């Protein structure tokens, strides 16, 4: 089967597919676009998705699996701007676990974030059981106690936990989403960060709150085995990040501002 298939009746040889191909493996010939060096295709699907006449297909990203954008509503700029600003880190959760189908929706959207060379490579472990997170909190606190001279060993969290049972690591969230990547994968952390940015923004639409589990991550990145052993991370993979999720106990009433925008414009002085 041809790697790229062209419907000769539909192709107008407009050249858009050739223009937008990231590894530039398409060239325009008399019969239409032809692929060279097919091993360099990064399976981004742009060539198929952009064709105005649905004239090109690619075995790596078949036309049959693509969604027609013309059928979807467009979000206006004002709504999108305020929506993006409405995502907040949630630190007070209701106790019930998020249903599995909603947890799946979160990680499903996460895989659409951009990744270098479209390598993707992130897989997820979803902690459904709060009991595991309770053990994890204990492990992170223990790790902080063993490393009290380090800046991330926050006495306030240790005291709150030991004296009042307050979980400052996961804020008593019912669920945790852990990202992992193959040990030899160079872009694991950055791909994770972007995928979680998607996840967190999307979570709001489901009424789900989230926050980065930064203290948990630091403990995991230090290879603290009493913590890592709880999560059954496959031998060939490393933990690359974690976000806690749950239904928020309270809802925000206002959007807050950030530091003033800091922009430098650069243009050529020559007239």
Classified as helix, coil or strand, 104 is: helix
Three-class DSSP category at 6? strand
Q: How many residues in the shown chain lie near ligand FMN by CB under 6 A?
A: 8
User: Is position 212 an interface residue for ligand FMN (rule: CB under 6 A)?
Assistant: yes
Q: Which is nearer to ligand FMN, 107 or 218 (CB)?
A: 218
**Is 177 an interacting residue with respect to ligand FMN (CB under 6 A)?**
no
Interaction of residue 189 with ligand FMN, rule CB under 6 A: no
- The single residue among 27, 53, 89, 150 that binds ligand FMN, judged by CB under 6 A, is 89
Distances (CA, A) of 211 to 19, 58, 191, 243, 247: 40, 38, 17, 6, 12
* The one among 98, 144, 213, 227 contacting ligand FMN by CB under 6 A: 213
Asked if 211 touches ligand FMN (CB under 6 A), the answer is: yes
Task: Provide the minimum distance between the beta carbon of 47 and ligand FMN in the complex, in angstroms, as a whole number.
Answer: 35
DSSP character string of 33-92: EEE--GGG-----HHHHH-TT--EEETTS-GGG---GGGS----HHHHHHHHHH--B---
Closer residue to ligand FMN in complex, CB, 57/167 = 167
Q: Closer CB to ligand FMN, residue 8 or residue 164?
A: 164
User: Beta-carbon neighbour count of residue 231 at 10 Å?
Assistant: 16
Rounded to whole angstroms, how far apart are CA atoms 142 and 165? Answer: 14
88 touching ligand FMN, by CB under 6 A: yes
Shortest approach of ligand FMN to residue 200 CB, angstroms? 8
| Of 120 and 172, CB closest to ligand FMN | 172
Token representation of residue 107: 């990680």
Q: How many helices (H) and strands (E) does the chain have?
A: 9, 8
Site for ligand FMN, rule CB under 6 A: 88-89, 91, 211-215
């Amino acid at each position: 089967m041809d790697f790229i298939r062209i419907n000769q009746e539909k192709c107008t040889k407009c050249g858009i597919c050739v223009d937008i191909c990231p590894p530039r493996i398409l060239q325009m010939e008399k019969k239409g676009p032809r692929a060279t060096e097919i091993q360099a295709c990064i399976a981004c699907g742009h060539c198929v998705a952009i064709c105005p006449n649905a004239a090109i297909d690619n075995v790596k990203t078949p036309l049959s699996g693509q969604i027609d954008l013309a059928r979807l509503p467009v979000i206006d700029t004002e709504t999108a701007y305020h929506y993006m600003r409405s995502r907040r880190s949630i630190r007070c959760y209701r106790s019930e676990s998020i249903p599995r189908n909603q947890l799946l929706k979160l990680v499903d959207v996460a895989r659409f974030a951009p990744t270098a060379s479209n390598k993707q490579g992130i897989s997820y472990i979803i902690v459904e059981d709060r009991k595991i997170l309770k053990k994890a909190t204990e492990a992170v606190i223990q790790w902080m106690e063993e490393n009290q001279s380090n800046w991330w060993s926050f006495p306030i969290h240790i005291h709150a936990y030991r004296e009042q049972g307050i979980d400052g690591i996961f804020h008593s969230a019912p669920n945790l989403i852990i990202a992992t990547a193959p040990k030899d994968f160079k872009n694991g952390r950055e791909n994770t960060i972007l995928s979680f940015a998607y996840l967190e923004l999307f979570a709001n639409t489901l009424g789900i709150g989230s926050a980065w589990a930064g203290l948990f991550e630091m403990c995991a990145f230090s290879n603290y085995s009493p913590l890592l052993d709880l999560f059954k991370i496959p031998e060939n993979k490393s933990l690359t990040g974690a976000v806690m999720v749950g239904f928020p106990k309270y809802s925000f009433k206002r959007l807050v501002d950030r530091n003033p925008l800091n922009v430098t414009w650069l243009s050529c002085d020559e007239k």
